[in-house]
Amino acid sequence: MTRVIEVDPDRFDRWMAGFAERHGPYDAAEETTPGGVVVSARAADGSTVVATPFVHDPLGVVLVRRGGYAVALAHDGVLVTSKVGSRHVQSRTAAGGWSQQRFARRRGKQADELVDAVVAHARRVLLGDDESPPAGADGIPRGLVVGGDRALVREVVGAHALRALAGLPVRELYDLPDPRRDVLESALRRGRAVRIELTETP
């Protein structure tokens, strides 16, 4: 049985000590990657761990759902600049006797307006309103945490105005609810976590 566990980087050594207590001594191998050191371990009872960090700083966060959005820049795990807001996009079910085509057009227009608004906020928060910052410029994200509605996130991150973010390492969190301040803070914690794939023997 394999499951994924997210562990705060500061707690990772303690988590591995607990793994040894539960499953016996382990052999481990390390691989250095741009996101940090990936640890693979096999314990005496055959249980295994693959632990993948996401060590990129500064870190950008882009969360978009039809009920709202959040964009933020973080240094050393602390939010430095952020924008959280709500914007209504109607649900898929038409009501009130509207024709389906009219409803679809209105819904599409609302979604486009949401994407445009988030792109503008992301350009300001993540790029300092500079669509073409110099490579390696201070304050520009080295990695991205994205979450919410997959299609909307793809539209935002793929926008021409945010082309400077193309190719950055990305950690995806598509199980998040409508973005609010607490959801943004949770996304930052999870984005920075060591993601552990734990396979335990029966």
Q: Let me know: does 72 contact 61? Beta carbons within 8 Å.
A: yes
**Prior bond of 141 cis (ω within 30°):** no
User: Which pLDDT score is estimated for 106?
Assistant: 54
User: Which pLDDT score is estimated for 120?
Assistant: 95
**How far is residue 111's CA from residue 17's CA, in Å, rounded to a whole number?**
47
**How far is residue 65's CA from residue 188's CA, in Å, rounded to a whole number?**
17
Residues of the chain with pLDDT under 50: 93-94, 98, 103
User: Which pLDDT score is estimated for 81?
Assistant: 96
Closest-CA residue to 90 (of 74, 109, 116):
109
User: Which pLDDT score is estimated for 131?
Assistant: 83
What is the distance between the terminal CA atoms of the chain, rounded to a whole angstrom?
A: 8
pLDDT 10s digits, 128-182: 988 888 877 888 999 999 999 999 999 999 999 999 999 999 999 999 999 999 9
Q: Let me know: does 197 contact 50? Beta carbons within 8 Å.
A: yes
User: Which pLDDT score is estimated for 103?
Assistant: 45
